[in-house]
Structures are given as structure tokens and as C-alpha cells.
Amino acid sequence: MPALQHIFNELHYEMTRKLAEGGMGVVYEAVQLGAGNFRKVVAVKLIREEYSAIEEFQNNFIGEARLVADLIHTNIVQTYHLGKIGGQYFMVMEFVRGVNLEQFIEQHRRQRVAIPVDLAVFIVSRVARGLAYAHTKCDREGVHLNIVHRDIGPKNVLMALEGDVKLTDFGIAKALNLMYNEEGKVIAGKDEYLSPEQANYGITDARADLFPLGIVLTELLLGRNIFRSADRAQSRRNILNLPIPTFGTLRPDIDAKLEAIIQRALTRDRDQRFQSALEMLTELEMYIY
């Protein structure tokens, strides 16, 4: 990292620590420096050096930055800048001081404490609010972008210490005229958080984000993902075939109203599922309030 820091010093970013690593990139916490002792904490997402020369990875990274540049919403992590230095692309994003949902769930599991039902519903409702915005986003000419996130899961939902819930990582998102993971040939997303249409190599629309959002809700409530298997192919088969349980029998304080919301979110026939994130958001908020 010292060599990297030297390079970023020229761009007025002071790298402070590594936040996360993925297959394609590394995310750092950094301080953006400006005139008059200006300092702003940001997150810097950097493509790994070994992948920077691969055109497909560059396209995905640039595509993500282009896609989220105009997604300005309290429940979506904002992107400030896309740059390239030393042959590597980097993205400067809003820094969220807090934890992701995977860490949140794991902490409760370790302490053997159930996440309160109303808190679980509230968290998922905020993600639904961010999705409702992204799914209906148009470009500057008014053309609907048809954005589908395609990677909804606990790791990609951040909870700020201030209480905000923010969706991040649109790296494999599908949008009009911007799609590098060709549907029908590859599966985009994590096996245990796929919609049935993704698991079946199908063409997706916005409804494909609502099934995994239902999975996230049940994982918050149960402390586990009912579709997860040690074998990736089995996880996909579970998404397609595992009988959906009555969740109230697994946790007694899941009442009939919430059961109905979960069952509709986890409906495999997308024509019977919630038809929009706004529709799911409305049901979740009516349940809370």
C-alpha cells in the first residue's frame, strides 16, 4: 500500500485503511484533502492490478460508475468520481460508517439474540425504497434506464451508525444499453440470493430484485438463509425447488400480515410476486406503521 499511497497523494487522497476485498477489487477508507484544511472521509474502490488490463473487468467497473453516477438517493451509496491512475481504475464513493447486514446478522447470531421483527422490516423497507428509486430512474432525455441490481444480499446493504440504510455495489447491474453479463449464458449474482429467473438463466426485470430482498428479510428474522447450501449448485436448486416454509412456524412472532408479505416476495412465479419495489415498500411500511 505505500506505493499506492504515494500515487494517491498526488490526487489529494490519503488512504487510511482497507475496508473490504472482493474478487475484482479492493475498497479503502480514505480522506479527501482540499484547500483550507478541507478533509472529507470517502471510500475508494480500486480494481485489482492483475484485472486492470482485462477489458471485461474494466467495462464492468466503468459501467457501474456510469450507472450509479446519477443515482442520488438517501438509501443508495453515492458515487462521486471515477478515475484512472497507474493503469488502475478507481471509484470514489460515499463512506458509510457502520456495518453491512451480514456483519449485523452474524453479531446477533453470536450473541444468540433475535433481531426484532419491526427492525428487520424497517431495514428491508429502506432497501425497497432505494430500489423503487433505481428501478424507475430515467436518463436526462427521459428514457427509462430499466435498472436491475441483480446482486441483492446482506453484504451489499450498509447500516450507518446514524441509522441510515444504504444499498451499494451495482457492479453487475443490468440497465438499458449497459450490460456486460449476458443473460441466458451466465448467472449474475450470488447463488443463495438469486431470483428463480436468475437461477434458471432467465431474462430479468426489476421483479428479480424483490425475491432476494425477501430472502434478506427472512435471514434477518431467522438468522440464516434457508436456501444456502455448501454446494453452489444445490443453492441454486434450492432457489428453484425448495418448499417455501410457513415462517410463522419457525418464529412465532411473525404474524399473518408479515407472513403474507414474505410469501408474496418469495413467490417463484414473478407475475404473482410483488410487481414493483414500490408495491413491496408500501406493504412493508403499512405493516410497520
Cα–Cα distance measured from residue 228 to residue 219, given in angstroms and rounded to the nearest whole number? 10
Decide: 194 and 188 in contact? Cβ < 8 Å: no
Q: Which of 70, 139, 151, 255 is catalytic?
A: 151
Cα–Cα distances in Å, from 274 out to 114, 199, 243, 260, 283?
A: 27, 19, 19, 11, 10
Residue 151 annotated as catalytic: yes
Residues 6+ apart with CB under 8 A from 51: 24, 25, 57
Cα–Cα distance measured from residue 251 to residue 116, given in angstroms and rounded to the nearest whole number? 11
Decide: 213 and 276 in contact? Cβ < 8 Å: no
What is the residue type of 190?
K
How is residue 264 written as a grid cell?
Answer: 408474496
How far, rounded to the nearest angstrom, does the alpha carbon of residue 165 sit from its chain's CA centroid?
11
β-strands 38-47, 88-94 pairing: antiparallel
- Specify the residue for cell string 457501474: 64
Residues recognised as catalytic? 151
